[in-house]
Structure 1
Amino acid sequence: MKPRDVRAAIMDELALAWLQVPGHAFVPWALAEAQGVNVLSVGRALVELREAGSVLLYRQEGDAMLVSVVLTPQGQAEWINDRAESCLPGVRVQQRLMYQLLQRQEHVSAATLEAFLGLPALRVRQLVLIMRSLGSVQAAVDAAGHFTEIRVRRSAEGIRLVGGA
């Protein structure tokens, strides 16, 4: 497996874990095993991604071996533009439909989006996370962690969707 393929696999797994897709959590040795590469290849790829500004690496207090990895906002945007549609089929069309509703209303709740789009709560949450990461929408979060008052972010740049469209 080429180094860029290892980096892409890491970015996919991190993004899908960020979006809370069931069955996805970033575990370096599990990724290495699943991709048929050694853990050192995964480690090198993580360092390259960190140097590119795509991920943050940090150690847990008191555990010298456990390294946590998170996508940076830059890494999120890169993944969204390059890989989201292939990992989450239909996400681009769903974003457009969501944006159409948001243009007609001042703000909406996640439940309204679920009903309008005919999508489960998890997918609506993923869409809001993606569009918020791109700077396309703003959303308040209630005490339970649910998105409320989702609205279009008004800017001179216009709306950004998956793939930069």
Structure 2
Amino acid sequence: MLILISAGIVAVAVVGVGLRVAHELTAAHRELARTRSLQLISVFAPGIAAAADDPRALLTWQPLASTARHLFPAEFAAIDGAGGGRFPFTTEEIEAAHARWSTDWLAWERSHDAAYKLKAAEIERELASGGTTATRARLEAVEREKIDLYQQRYSEYVRVSKALYGLTK
């Protein structure tokens, strides 16, 4: 009879220890998930700041975020839920960055055009008051410079604009 009581006590103790170990493992797992979530937030904080300053930063950070999402889906789901949107960049934020990129382009285009019109007007005044062939060559160089810079900048605008649009798909 004593052996039976002892066996019962040992069984209860083993079950109790097992439950306690299971509880501790669950708590450790939750803490690990929280730690990973905080690490992910820390990793992407510079990208969020960079994208706020320059929409082109999204072209680097969003693919990294997609890769991290595949590696840590549970952690990203927890962050998404806590933040109320897709972390680190929502579709709306990407669309807003695209709109800002377009707005910045239009502002640059106007500024560029005005600056080169002013340069050309100054040289044209010199030409009107008896400028030389060197003056005419300067005017042509300014016009070429205007076109070259415009084409370079426009090429970048189109490339980035298409890439930002692609991030929303």
The TM-score normalised by the length of structure 1 is: 0.28
Q: Which of structures 1 and 2 has the larger relative contact order (alpha carbons within 8 angstroms, sep 6+)?
A: 2
Greater strand proportion: 1
Greater helix proportion: 2
